[in-house]
Amino acid sequence: MRRLCFALFALFALPATVSATTFSFRLGGDFLNYTTNSSFLDMGFGWQNEIAKGMELDLGASFGIVTHSLTNQTVAPIFFIPVNGGLNFLFGDDPLTFLVGFGLTPVFTGEPGVDAANPGYFRIYIGPYLKAGIRVKVHELMRWYAEVEQDILVGGPTWINNCTRVTTGLNFNFGK
């Protein structure tokens, strides 16, 4: 357990002391397989750490939710929790920066069981993503951003799942 804690500390805290670190808070939508019950409201955060000029490590997670009506007049939630890990390549500088990123996304999704007729489910998907975005400087320490991400997720029951994620939010830069 100590080794795991040390590894996590080294992964997150030590790089933050030697380079530019930014934090992002976002709101958006996730569209899994483009079906009605799979369009999720998404709220999340991210941590970006510059590892080379024009390139940053990007780690983040989101929480998505959608509700649907059941046959017994109750409403049930479906949860969507993607976790991203990848690289962003930055083009341009203040006040306008473009980015292209790629990486891996594990996704956890499920619906809690409501009754015997609606027992619920839990699924895990994983796959690569590609994204594009723009950041606009609105304050010395803050940038507004918008991103579009395309995921190809592998997991049952359909085994090949498309997911488009559209997000906007604020990126706080405390390292420069």
pLDDT (tens digit, 9 = 90+) per residue, 136-161? 999 989 999 999 999 999 998 889 99
CA distance 92 to 80: 33
Catalogue all structural domains in the chain, each as residue range(s) with its CATH number.
Answer: 14-173 (2.40.160.20)
Q: 1: pLDDT confidence band, cut at 50, 70 and 90?
A: low
Residue 4 above 60 pLDDT? no
Q: Are 169 and 27 in contact (CB under 8 A)?
A: yes
Distances from the Cα of 7 to the Cαs of 1, 2, 14, 45, 129, in angstroms?
10, 9, 10, 21, 25
Q: What percent of the chain has pLDDT over 90?
A: 65
pTM (two decimals): 0.82
Structure tokens at 55: 């390139």
The residue whose two tokens read 């790629």 is 102
Q: 119: pLDDT confidence band, cut at 50, 70 and 90?
A: confident
CA distance 176 to 170: 16
CA distance 63 to 146: 18
